[in-house]
Structure 1
Amino acid sequence: MPAPSVPSATAPTFRIDIPLLPESAAGNALQFIDLLRSANVLASLRAGAASPRFAWRLLDAEGLPITALPGPLAAYSQAAGGAHDAPSGSRAFALFLPSFHAADIPLIRSVVSRHQRLSRLVGLALDQGQKVLTVGNGAWLAASSGRLQDRQASLPWFYMAGFERDFPDIRLIAGQDVTDDGPWLSCALPHGLSDMATALVRHAMGDELAQVCASVFHPDPERARAALQANAQQHIPATRDSTLARAIAYMESHLDEPYSLARLAEAAAVSPRTLLRHFQLELSQSPLDHLHSLRCARAKVLLEVTLESVPSIAVACGYSDPAAFRRIFVRHTGMAPAEYRKRHALRAPRRRWRVDVS
């Protein structure tokens, strides 16, 4: 999917808090975040920078934010201004509880008893009008809050007898992958996460976007066949050219050249004033700001996979002044180039590449 527009400061934001316990099936949470990210992309494609969006926070077992995950998981926890950033003004909308690893019912009960603080957090969220989303045996943590009596839920068949003994006042729906009952959305198994995400979109952003998400999140053999046939008969044209697409394509192929608004506008076949308006309307930033982000993306790759000096990388990214490059890189990434390389380099120092032992 293409990247979403940079959200406007006034765009409504719905925050999802996601506690991760030592026992949690973290893959549930990461898959759900990917679905939220896709929903943000679809919303921005339809409404631009003014579209509503989801944000999310990973929490530990005490309910405190997890600020950084290692390596490729960093994008799921670091607030770097993207779709996953949870701004201070975002509305706490839901709490997502993934399933957790437990071999049997007694072990499930043991996990719940060890995490009573999280059960209380669930109760507080429900008291504040938030929704609670559960996957599989995560339903035990939600139900132990004591706030979901007389509600309905979906569970895998192998948990039903034990759950019913522990919570006889909660009705289990047999044979239903996802149940949406007021403040509680539950899915029996991880394959129901796309349905749960669609239901959450419906609650937060309305039926129209939920229908769009449903059509994207689910396999549709009939549509796939129709698309292939239409493409083969050339009924589907190539993606239409646009001012923004022409400008960004020019930027990407001239990253190491000095910035010129006039030259960029000429490449996009519009006036400089029109080009500025398009960037502000669609991306909520200037062409120069977008160019800086593209250059910093290249710089990160070069810092990760090469041993070139920072001044050399600055030149490769269009900055003749290494000091200016460092300032801009810090602004976009939150750290200096040398620090970024220290944390993310994929190559060892030169001495590790020596063949001799002297």
Structure 2
Amino acid sequence: MNELIDVAVLTTADSEAGVALGIHDAFWLVGRLWNQAHGLEDTPVFAPRIVTATDEPLMTATGVTINPGASISDGAASGIVFVPSLLPCEGKCLPDVEPNLLDWVKQSKAAGARIVSSCTGSFLLAEAGLLDGCEATTHWAFVETFRRRFPKVTVHGERTLVAADEKASVVTAGGASSWTDLTLYLVGRFAGEEEARRLARMSLFDWHHQGQNPYARLTIRSQTADAVVRQAQEWIALSYDQRNVIQRIIRRSELAERTFNRRFRAATGMSPLEYLQAVRLEEAKQQLESDDATVEEIASAVGYDDTSSFRRLFKSRTGLTPAEHRKRFKAPPIYYGSPKRSSSG
């Protein structure tokens, strides 16, 4: 029997317990679940373990207590170190990581371990200095926070998986559920593509080929310092479905067009047109997910007379067509089962 590959799931009090345990179980299932379903002998490939700062039970931020399989005092890892997502504090700030955990990650990297993270776990890798001068990704909602905190890292918020180097010795994954993409990638790399396909089929894991853009909700920087821009934002929120919106808000501002555009971009990071498009597309997303109106009806409802232009813009900004977005994100109907036949029938 081949030696099992060690997978150390580094878990802290700020980790999402469900993600940490999901990662652990997914690797444990490789070579087991498919085989058992098909009457074959188990052929495990990985030896996953939850690793924490101490060997004491760990209470996570979501109230779940985890009994670790090992602690960092047991020595550096040599296989895979997987850092799951960290839950944010108030103000979308990520928690500080204990220095001893950062040291352990760096020691594991020096010992030859592959270091990977999902979602906001990339903050821990960046804090350890493993991403300096490299490329990475993180959850779309924390991209700007990441950029401000780690200016030496080039962050791609639209991507699902990003390797920091040619050898992929450090890999980061984007949004919360992207841990499944990263797990499939690692299974494919270490156990073969067929094992990755089997895990995907048995666990119903779906590759996020389109990146994070389809999942991103509009994040508009609130504006309070510039009253003119704040009023323009409020008016757009109420009038995005009307025609000639930009011209009308410029007239309302009583500023020269160039001056208004400059102040608006300085305050929001977008041009007025980009901001309007973002608001319209966010509303379109929500309508696609919540009702059965046609794409033409939704385009018109959010301010687009030309449905073709709307489709092109939607695809360019989200990576999906409106129909594809609806198919992926609209809640499925609940199946209650076939009605029972009457005993007298």
Normalising by structure 2, what TM-score? 0.48
Greater RCO (Cα-Cα under 8 Å, separation 6 or more): 1
Normalising by structure 1, what TM-score? 0.46
Give the structure with the larger helix fraction. 1
